[in-house]
Structure 1
Amino acid sequence: MHAPIADFLASTASEEVTDTEEEAFLLFSQEIPTTNLGFVDSRASSLDVTIRGNEYTIHQSPTLLSSARAGGTTGAVLWKITPRFAEWISSPTNPLWTHSLLSSASVVTELGCGISALVALALAPSVQHYIATDQEYVRRVFRTNLDANVSVSSAASASGKLKGSKTRGSSRSTSKGKQPFKATTSNITFTTLDWELDQPELLKGCIESESGSHLGHGHEQGEEEDRGFDLLLSCDCIYNEALVAPFVRTCAEICRLRPAYEPSSEKTSQARRQPTVCIVAQQQRSPEVFETWLRETLREFRIWRLSDKVLGDGLKGGTGYLVHLLLARGKS
């Protein structure tokens, strides 16, 4: 049944978005704090970041950021929204947790994770498995950051268990001999994901190739294999109109690996699996790019702008950041 989603939406006063121009005008007519492009410090080779009392050392690649690499380099450094988002999504008081949309059994995937690994480091200790995806150039520094913060992740994992337990990935990367690595917390996997070429239904296969487990298989005889995810995350991937269509298409393909959200049938639905909840966080930059994203997204998803009550001080309205919850529409 889909009751947890309906309860979450009803109790958090999150507002459904139905009109692109109205939403863009409402959000961009407000005064937006100046955050430049949004880097924390693009010249530093490492940064110290605190998330929920845990200290992380995050390595960056300023040289790569300033290179002329084809395909972009924005993931080479830490962006200001990322620590705020990591703090919010991993907090046990986050309504996603208190309404059981996230739990210790959840399987999560992230698009455009960047080099910091910060969201994975903060959230993975509290969930079953976390798949981080991005372009291949991110892999080395991402792994460096996992290794550098192993003790933090281990401590967070122990604490979490006590409390309660621009590109799309496939086996293509493994066919070139680049196996997903077993990260510092054993439930984090990095894999490449080409938004225009790869097949999202193969994402969970990288977990099996790494650990030999069968995470996506049905638990009961005759139950269909679950290739989908409980939660899909994206943090500051929307800054270029050319990326919007493949990004939205990838989000939709991943979310449709699970049932669509059908509120009219939630009382009687016998579906065992919840729809995938997609959370998209972004910095307010260009209203034109935002409108393009919103218009494209509304074709595939129902969208709710999360309320200040849900987001707290770090991400609420007026901070210069936006967070929307997406639920895939049924195929027409």
Structure 2
Amino acid sequence: MSTNNEFEYIYKRIDSEDLIYEHINERYALMSENAENIKQDLGIINDKQDKLTIEIDYQESVKEIAQSIKNKKKKSKSSVLNKNFNIELEQLPTSLKSNTNGNSTTGFVVWQSTFFFLTWLLKHKGKFFLNWDENKNFDIIELGTGINCSNSIVLSNFTRNFYISTDQKGILNKLKINCLNNLKEIKKYNNTNKLNLASLENNNNLQQFRSRSLNINAQTDNEIEENDFRYEVLHLDWCDDATFQNFINESKFIKNNDKDLLTILAVDVIYNEFLIIPFIKTVERLLRLRKDSQAIVVLQLRDESIIIDFLSECLPYFNVNVIEDLDFSNGVFSCSRHVIYKLILL
């Protein structure tokens, strides 16, 4: 177990079946104790409306990021920076109950887990705990994104070289529409300094924003410079090896920056036993693309047997850590139905 008094959280290692059961028993007991304050549902934000807005009012004290300012001659008049995100999303609630295209349909609606994760990152010091501040070099591949582009929109403001959203083919058209409708929230796209106080002092290093999949500023790889920021929406089916190879062929730039941390992000993608092995296999293959890599898996706790099976299958491949509150009985995770695991290759 590792601790850091600067944060409200710890990493707790899970490396045996006994520790898996101990972890699950503790978390489900806490959920039972806090049942009055936890929503008792499957986790869909709204299954009635076709359009939703995700709002995150993010305030960060100037003191917390002052160390990143190179030129300190100019001083802010305010003690906090307001960084509001308003993400407009189109979803397809009617498609949730259909299976006409042979794909999973859960990705057609917006789930609470993404909102929980982003709120933890931006309002409860999660990004500092994960070391995801704006001056760190890391890139993200998201698995099972669904139609909800919120993670990619928000986190593209922090990632260094690229953010790649992936899902099954039937999901991608609606995901692309949502991405295009919210690009204004990405500072690399709109050339603003929305999330970086340091760049108010020195804005000469803005990256060119490019996306082949969204037809933005580049149609071919020959048009893309090494320093450009890549924002892509790509097909990746965990159960189809051919789509994995196609994904690698379309994403050769992943290996071009092997000095930076690669993070595989997956939010609420494990909800039945049939997904577990294909997901783990995909994560393992992606983590091998760079020596410095990790996976962050955010889950909503529903059927405890699914979580136990998932963790058990992870043990032969990964160093598994769960993020827990220092105040275990009364914290962000303890009073929620969500859990976050960090996976690193053994």
Q: What TM-score comes out, normalization by structure 2 length?
A: 0.71
Counterpart in the other structure of 2:140: 108
What is the CA–CA distance in structure 2 between the aligned matches of 1:297 and 1:239, rounded to whole Å?
Answer: 15
Aligned mate of 1:34, from 39, 47, 50: 39
Counterpart in the other structure of 1:281: 298
**Structure 2 vs 1, CA of residues 114 and 77 (structure 1 numbering), >3 Å: closer, same or farther?**
same
Q: How does 1:17-166 map to 2 (within 5 A)?
A: 17-18=14-15, 19-30=19-30, 31=32, 33-51=38-56, 52=58, 53-69=84-100, 70-89=102-121, 93-96=125-128, 99=131, 103=135, 105-128=137-160, 129-154=162-187, 158-163=193-198
SS of residue in 2 equivalent to 1:217: helix
Q: Decide which moves more: 6-15 or 43-52.
A: 6-15
**Structure 2 vs 1, CA of residues 186 and 13 (structure 1 numbering), >3 Å: closer, same or farther?**
closer
Q: Which has the higher strand share?
A: 2
**Structure 2 vs 1, CA of residues 158 and 201 (structure 1 numbering), >3 Å: closer, same or farther?**
farther
Paired amino acid for 1:160: L
Q: 1:122: Cα distance to partner?
A: 0.7
Counterpart in the other structure of 2:230: 187
What is the CA–CA distance in structure 1 between the aligned matches of 2:237 and 2:170, rounded to whole Å?
Answer: 12
**Structure 2 vs 1, CA of residues 91 and 34 (structure 1 numbering), >3 Å: closer, same or farther?**
closer
Paired amino acid for 1:22: E
SS of residue in 2 equivalent to 1:125: coil
What is the CA–CA distance in structure 1 between the aligned matches of 2:334 and 2:343, rounded to whole Å?
Answer: 18
Aligned mate of 1:301, from 311, 318, 321: 318
Unaligned runs of at least 5 residues, structure 2:
59-83, 201-211, 218-227
What is the CA–CA distance in structure 1 between the aligned matches of 2:315 and 2:195, rounded to whole Å?
Answer: 35
**Structure 2 vs 1, CA of residues 10 and 97 (structure 1 numbering), >3 Å: closer, same or farther?**
closer
Q: 1:71: Cα distance to partner?
A: 2.6
CA offset digits 1:255-302 (Å, max 9, x no partner): 12233xxxxxxxxxxxxxxx2121110001001101100100111111
Between the aligned residues of both structures, percent identity stands at: 22
Paired amino acid for 2:51: S
**Structure 2 vs 1, CA of residues 98 and 115 (structure 1 numbering), >3 Å: closer, same or farther?**
closer
Q: Decide which moves more: 89-98 or 230-239.
A: 89-98
**Structure 2 vs 1, CA of residues 92 and 28 (structure 1 numbering), >3 Å: closer, same or farther?**
closer
Paired amino acid for 1:115: I
SS of residue in 2 equivalent to 1:54: strand
The number of aligned residues is 283
Paired amino acid for 2:24: A
> What is the RMSD computed on CA atoms of the aligned residues?
3.4
**Structure 2 vs 1, CA of residues 235 and 310 (structure 1 numbering), >3 Å: closer, same or farther?**
farther
On the 8 A contact 1:85/1:315 being kept in 2, the answer is: no
Aligned mate of 1:251, from 280, 283, 301: 283
Unaligned runs of at least 5 residues, structure 1:
1-5, 166-178, 209-213, 219-225, 260-274
What is the CA–CA distance in structure 2 between the aligned matches of 1:139 and 1:149, rounded to whole Å?
Answer: 15
**Structure 2 vs 1, CA of residues 142 and 279 (structure 1 numbering), >3 Å: closer, same or farther?**
same
Paired amino acid for 1:65: L
What is the CA–CA distance in structure 1 between the aligned matches of 2:140 and 2:274, rounded to whole Å?
Answer: 26
SS of residue in 2 equivalent to 1:71: coil
What is the CA–CA distance in structure 2 between the aligned matches of 1:62 and 1:100, rounded to whole Å?
Answer: 33
Q: What TM-score comes out, normalization by structure 1 length?
A: 0.74
CA offset digits 1:87-136 (Å, max 9, x no partner): 33466943557746875532210110010111001101221310011111
**Structure 2 vs 1, CA of residues 310 and 196 (structure 1 numbering), >3 Å: closer, same or farther?**
farther
Counterpart check, 1:326 vs 2:331: no
On the 8 A contact 2:10/2:325 being kept in 1, the answer is: no
SS of residue in 2 equivalent to 1:216: helix
On the 8 A contact 1:182/1:189 being kept in 2, the answer is: no
Q: 1:180: Cα distance to partner?
A: 2.5
Counterpart check, 1:206 vs 2:203: no
**Structure 2 vs 1, CA of residues 64 and 98 (structure 1 numbering), >3 Å: closer, same or farther?**
closer
Q: How does 1:160-179 map to 2 (within 5 A)?
A: 160-163=195-198
